[in-house]
Amino acid sequence: MIPAAVLVCLLPGCVRAVRAEGASLPLPTVGLSYALAKPDTRVSVKDVEDYLTASGMIRTRKGDTAKTTEDAQTKKTQKQAKSDTQVQTSQPAASGTTVNAAEVNEILDTALTQKQQKEADATVSQTALLIEETAAAAGREIDESYSKEVLAVKDAVAAAPEGTSAEEAVTAAKEEVAYAQRAEEAGMTVEELRAAEEEAEKAAARAKAEEELGAKRAEAEAAVAEEELCVALVSDFINIRSEPSTEGEIVGKLYANGVGKVLSEPDDFGWMKISSGEVVGYIKAEYVATGQYAHELAGEVEEYRATVNTETLRVRVAPDLDSDVITLIGQGEELVSLEELDGWLKVDTPDGEGFISSDFADVDVFFPEAKSKAQEEAEIAEARRAEEEKIKAQKAQAEADRKKREAEAAKNAAERQRLEAEAQRAQQAADAAKASYDAAAEAAAAAGAGGAGSGKGQEVVNYACQFIGNPYVWGGSSLTNGTDCSGFTMSVYAHFGVSLPHYDASQRSCGTAVASLAEARPGDLICYNGHVGIYMGNGQIVHASNPRTGITTGNASYRPIVAIRRIFN
């Protein structure tokens, strides 16, 4: 064990390295008392006195006869007066005389005032200077062999948190060193010893919990063992009556394997008084087991219940504080205890089986008990309410399902009507397109039969009429997916190897001019301001009209004609 006076010299803020002239001396790790404890340490008395005087630690040398008024005021106690006398009655030593460590210690003990001695004890820097410089002056060095314990204390104190007092730091350091010594004696590291002790504490806590739980169970079982019990030996139930007679009112029922306490022995007619649960009354003794046999039967049907004795208790998946929480149980709630395991109770909850700490539950023994007439009526009423609620819920679900089916049927009917309407409109559009195509083909054929057009121009008309009914798209040139007026004429003529510009005004200069509509032939371009179409003959054109009608046919004179151009002569 390291002395407390030694440890206090290790406080952070006190320790500082000292370099004496002519020698490099290490600071004594354990302070003044360690250095002075070495018998072979010899220093000059004069050097010690010089240092003490220069540092203000003493005001009177050995042999001095005069005292200052201040010396007299500060050395008031009897011990101090005796110390002063010892110092002054000694003969001064000649320069170079050496003394051992004990003598130097005597100088310090007798020459310092109480205040100075207290400061020297608390401040290692002053005592270190004294030891090192006086030893250096004597040509000696302080012993450098430091113990492991001292180094451990030094490190522990140096690592003390900021704001820790000197006393707290030294106390903590002593505890750390003592713990390290214990670990070394046990052949362990500090971490291994700490882990072993923590495990031992846990094991002790578990053992204590198991002991307490066992004591609770034993107490409950002992209480039961002292009572005289009866157990129903019937397949259904026994009536409990208000009087020892079949004329007595039925106040409750003790069901098969139900347990009661015997309050009076059977009378001459075999009626015995019992209590079970909330029911007190009379039953026929012939229908129950009593005595030791009753206790044996009760042991087979008994169950343990844990009553929570804390505000909120966690039920965990496994008997481990790190396992997941299944649910929370409030104070006063009862749970059936299924098993005991190292300070844990396996319990049955509405959310499933789990584990609770036995520290937060009181365990008692329970048996199947009789039900009073009021309890049975309440249970019947509750069962009836539950059944009614169940039927009500089923009806509500059936109604909801019916409405859902009706809504889905209405939705399907509306979708079917929409699809049928779209199909009808598509069919009408197709019929109109076919009629328009047939009319155009007929007109083209009539015009061709009259010898008014070339065969090539008629081919152009026939080809163009295939796309009647397809959409109009501004800027487009697809005969199937959408085109505008100039894109339509351009794409039709491209099929015959003729390249036309995609702009109606530019197409007015293509091919050769035709003087009038009367001279026009099938295949000619009929140009309008901002529009163009292909002449079909018989005063009709086929063209990409607008977004509403798409590619269609119409009267060539429906708007003023600005030019007629023949592509094939």
Residues 169, 177 contacting (CB under 8 angstroms) = no
What is the rounded distance in angstroms from the CA atom of residue 175 to the CA atom of residue 120? 25
**Torsion sign over Cα 74, 55, 18, 20:** negative
Which residues in the chain show pLDDT less than 70?
Answer: 1-160, 164-171, 173-174, 213, 216-225, 430, 433-434, 436-454
Which residues, other chains included, contact 443 with Cβ-Cβ below 8 Å and sequence gap of 6+? 536, 537, 538, 540
Q: What is the pLDDT of residue 203?
A: 80
Q: What is the C-alpha R_g of the chain?
A: 59
Q: Mind listing the pLDDT tens digit for each residue in 397-438?
A: 999 999 999 999 999 999 999 988 888 887 787 677 667 666
What is the rounded distance in angstroms from the CA atom of residue 212 to the CA atom of residue 208? 6
**Annotated catalytic residue: which of 9, 230, 465, 543?**
543
Select from 3.10.580.10, 3.90.1720.10, 3.20.20.70, 3.40.50.300 the CATH code of 437-566: 3.90.1720.10
Cα three-residue angle 343-333-321, rounded to 5 degrees: 35
Q: What is the pLDDT of residue 128?
A: 46
Q: What is the pLDDT of residue 6?
A: 33
Within 10 Å of residue 439's Cβ, how many Cβ atoms?
16
Select from 2.60.120.650, 3.50.50.60, 3.40.50.1580, 2.30.30.40 the CATH code of 227-301: 2.30.30.40
pTM metric for this prediction: 0.34
Examine the residue annotation and report whether 543 is marked as an active-site residue of this protein. Answer: yes
Residues 491, 481 contacting (CB under 8 angstroms) = no
Residues in the chain: 569
Q: What is the pLDDT of residue 200?
A: 85
Place of tokens 């007015």: 508
**466-490: burial string, b at 16+ Cβ within 10 Å, e else:** ebbbbbbbeebbebeebbbbbbbbb
Place of tokens 């104070």: 331
> Cα–Cα distances in Å, from 123 out to 3, 33, 317, 388, 507?
16, 13, 59, 88, 113
The two structure tokens encoding residue 229: 């019990």
DSSP 3-state assignment of 28? coil
**Annotated catalytic residue: which of 14, 485, 510, 527?**
485
Cα three-residue angle 475-481-483, rounded to 5 degrees: 30
- Is residue 8 packed enough to be buried (19+ CB in 10 Å), middle (13-18) or exposed (0-12)? buried
**Annotated catalytic residue: which of 9, 230, 527, 531?**
531
What is the rounded distance in angstroms from the CA atom of residue 355 to the CA atom of residue 346? 4
* DSSP 8-class letter at 20: B
Give domain limits for the chain: 4-172, 227-301, 378-430, 437-566
What is the rounded distance in angstroms from the CA atom of residue 405 to the CA atom of residue 413? 12
Place of tokens 């003390």: 160
Examine the residue annotation and report whether 485 is marked as an active-site residue of this protein. Answer: yes
What is the rounded distance in angstroms from the CA atom of residue 348 to the CA atom of residue 161? 49
Q: What is the pLDDT of residue 357?
A: 87
Examine the residue annotation and report whether 531 is marked as an active-site residue of this protein. Answer: yes
* DSSP 8-class letter at 360: G
Conformational region of residue 202, where left means phi above 0, alpha means psi within -120 to 50, and beta covers everything else:
alpha
